Amino acid sequence: MANSWLSTIRQLLAAALVVVIASVTAVNSFAAESKGKVLVVVSSVSEIPLQDGKTYSTGYFLNELTVPVKALIAAGYEPVFANPKGNAANWDVHSLDAKFFGGNKQTLEQMKSFAQSLPGLKQPLSFAQVLKQGTAGYSGVFVPGGHAPLGDLTTNAELGKLLREFHVANKPTALICHGPVALLSALPDAATFATAAASGDSAGLERASKNWPYAGYRMTVFSTVEERMAEQSQLNGKVLFYPAEALAEAGAIVESGKAWQNHVVQDRELITGRQPFSDEEFTAVFIKALNAGKAP
């Protein structure tokens, strides 16, 4: 009886050892094949303030996050998620629509499952943690849209420091839809700029827009025409300021194009996509830039 018990224990230990060895081998294999890490910046908020004291429930737009992240992983990059507070990020329920996935309901469900399977979205790093670790180990940075960036990314000083580090290092910096408003955080006094933008203070905007690292860059963002349509059909209120107008006031050369049409702009290290239907081309341009950064 004792011998049988000992034999069983040995078999269980041997099986456990095989699992451990296999796990270590898989991790080492991934590390060896990985092309590098990509910082994926998401919001910490689940709602944003609107004019007249209203609020709007939001989060990341599903296709704008999952399409690029899934492609990054397939291309050999490791996504590392981060937001201001290091809290779980949530999706915008308005993005749970098959129209953003070519009308394919099955793809929508697959992408919902994919997002839910990403541990980094449930426990992202805080910006403070990323700054402490340093950005040298990252190949690029990516900011998806949804209205959430308007809530806490435009004025976040830690994000501004991170973006300036990627800018100085000339590393691919990709932002889609409302994501490009996060670039305003790189202003020396982003909070003052945002306040001036919301109040229509032209003099304040001019003072606060000095020394923005992205001044003179060509870029695109969710257009004012599209935003006004969204205000009526989706937000049931007005945003504090229009992203395209704010970026232009900061010194960007904003390209709008036709409403609800794919539009992607690349200028130096900066890659921007205008709205959800830009996701596939935006992703392809970003990955190409990342791969070029790895070329000898």
For residues 91 and 145, membership in a common domain is answered with yes
For residues 284 and 207, membership in a common domain is answered with yes
77, β-bridge pairs: 36
Residue 34, pLDDT score? 81
Count CB atoms within 10 A of the CB of residue 180. Answer: 31
For residues 285 and 170, membership in a common domain is answered with yes
Prediction pTM value = 0.88
Nearest to 186 by CA among 219, 146, 153, 218: 153
For residues 94 and 182, membership in a common domain is answered with yes
For residues 111 and 187, membership in a common domain is answered with yes
Q: What is the dihedral of CA 122, 128, 133, 134, to 10 degrees?
A: 120
Residue 25: exposed, middle, or buried by beta-carbon count in 10 A (0-12, 13-18, 19+)?
Answer: exposed
Series of mean pLDDT values for 10-residue runs along the chain (296 residues): 42 37 35 80 97 97 98 97 98 97 97 97 98 97 97 98 97 98 97 96 94 98 96 96 97 92 96 96 98 66
For residues 96 and 224, membership in a common domain is answered with yes
For residue 208, what are the CA distances in angstroms to 143, 160, 180, 189, 217?
23, 14, 18, 6, 18
Q: Is the dihedral of CA 104, 260, 241, 181 positive or negative?
A: positive
For residues 7 and 96, membership in a common domain is answered with no
For residues 164 and 258, membership in a common domain is answered with yes
Residue 4, pLDDT score? 47
For residues 65 and 164, membership in a common domain is answered with yes
For residues 114 and 159, membership in a common domain is answered with yes
Domain that holds residue 11: 1-33
For residues 46 and 123, membership in a common domain is answered with yes
For residues 132 and 230, membership in a common domain is answered with yes
Count CB atoms within 10 A of the CB of residue 76. Answer: 15
Count CB atoms within 10 A of the CB of residue 56. Answer: 21
CATH number at residue 83: 3.40.50.880
The tally of domains found in the chain comes to 2
